[in-house]
């Protein structure tokens, strides 16, 4: 994995405008893994997708991740410092297939992918999206000798399947146990790797655009001229402009 150049950061940021978080994550991943077709990136388990995005973030900005959480009880803000290397370890490999057996029900499934999430984004009801997502991930579902689909599963069976899907891809949802220093409330916080990396990229893109604006006005350079400079050189020129 290599860090994105300034030109690539701006291109990715621009391409992601107007899209939801899943497409944005794929646009970012496609820039970093340009040798892989979009369809293959879409088919990656969510945990593998996020592991690659985290790897990209580490080679770009280092292992330390500064995050923020708010206490759900009293609203107290918490500043978090996370180790990207430890998070990579937590993003363990997903199973290629999983199995679930309950009495006469036998299910075989694969982990959820970005393509699956995109396919259910327009569902009007949460329950409809949940069952469509499960149906896409089911490779085989039998009750006794009869083939069934996700629509035939009971609520309890759907809950068991959802849990099995989560366990099959441990990197798809990173949870942290937090305690509020103000009110002592305890809760679990989800770290959305894709959203975190995109938010940082957006901040970086805006900083680069600001640098281009300042240097273009000061020296009459075109955007490609400014972006061709290394970050160190851009900083040096910015310092001289500000004197």
Separation of first and last alpha carbons in the chain: 38
**Residue range 227-238: mean pLDDT, rounded:** 94
Is residue 204 within 8 A of residue 9, CB to CB? The reply is yes
Helix (H, G, I), strand (E, B) or coil at 16: helix
The mean pLDDT value for 104-126 works out to 93
- pLDDT one-digit tens code per residue, 16-59: 999 999 999 999 999 999 899 999 999 999 999 999 999 999 99
Confidence of residue 1 (pLDDT cuts 50, 70, 90): confident
C-alpha to C-alpha distances, 78 to 20, 45, 174, nearest whole angstrom: 27, 30, 17
Give the tens place of pLDDT for each residue, 152-204: 999 999 999 999 999 999 899 888 899 999 999 999 999 999 999 999 999 99
107 contacts 161 by C-beta, under 8 angstroms: yes
Is residue 243 scored above 80 in pLDDT? no
> Which is nearest to 50 in space by CA: 163, 171, 167?
171
Buried b / exposed e along 46-85 (16+ C-beta atoms within 10 A): bbbbbbbbbebbbebeeeebeeebebeeeeeeeeeebebe
Give Cα 233 to chain centroid, integer Å.
Answer: 32
pLDDT in the model for residue 12: 96
Instruction: Find the DSSP H helices in 138-192.
Output: 155-168
Give this prediction's pTM: 0.88
Q: Where are the domains of the chain?
A: 6-92+192-242, 98-168
| Cα distance between residue 33 and residue 2, in whole Å | 9
CA distance 43 to 48: 10
């Amino acid at each position: 994995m290599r860090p994105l150049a300034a030109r690539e950061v701006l291109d990715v940021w621009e391409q992601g405008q107007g899209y939801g978080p899943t497409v944005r994550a794929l646009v970012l991943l496609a820039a970093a893994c340009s040798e892989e077709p979009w369809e293959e990136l879409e088919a990656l388990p969510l945990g593998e997708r996020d592991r690659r995005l985290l790897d990209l973030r580490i080679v770009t900005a280092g292992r330390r991740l500064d995050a923020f959480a708010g206490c759900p009880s009293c609203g107290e803000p918490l500043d978090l410092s996370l180790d990207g290397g430890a998070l990579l370890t937590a993003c363990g490999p997903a199973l290629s297939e999983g199995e679930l057996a309950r009495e006469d029900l036998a299910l075989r499934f694969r982990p959820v992918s970005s393509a699956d999430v995109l396919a259910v984004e327009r569902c009007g009801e949460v329950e409809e999206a949940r069952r469509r997502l499960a149906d896409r991930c089911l490779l085989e579902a039998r009750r006794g000798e009869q083939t069934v689909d996700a629509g035939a599963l009971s609520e309890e069976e759907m809950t068991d399947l959802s849990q099995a899907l989560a366990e099959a891809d441990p990197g798809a949802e990173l949870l942290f146990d937090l305690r509020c220093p103000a009110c002592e409330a305890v809760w679990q916080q989800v770290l959305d790797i894709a959203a975190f990396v995109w938010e940082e990229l957006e901040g970086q893109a805006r900083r680069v655009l600001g640098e281009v604006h300042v240097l273009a006005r000061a020296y009459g350079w075109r955007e490609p001229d400014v972006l061709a400079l290394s970050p160190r050189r851009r900083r040096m020129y910015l310092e001289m402009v500000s004197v």
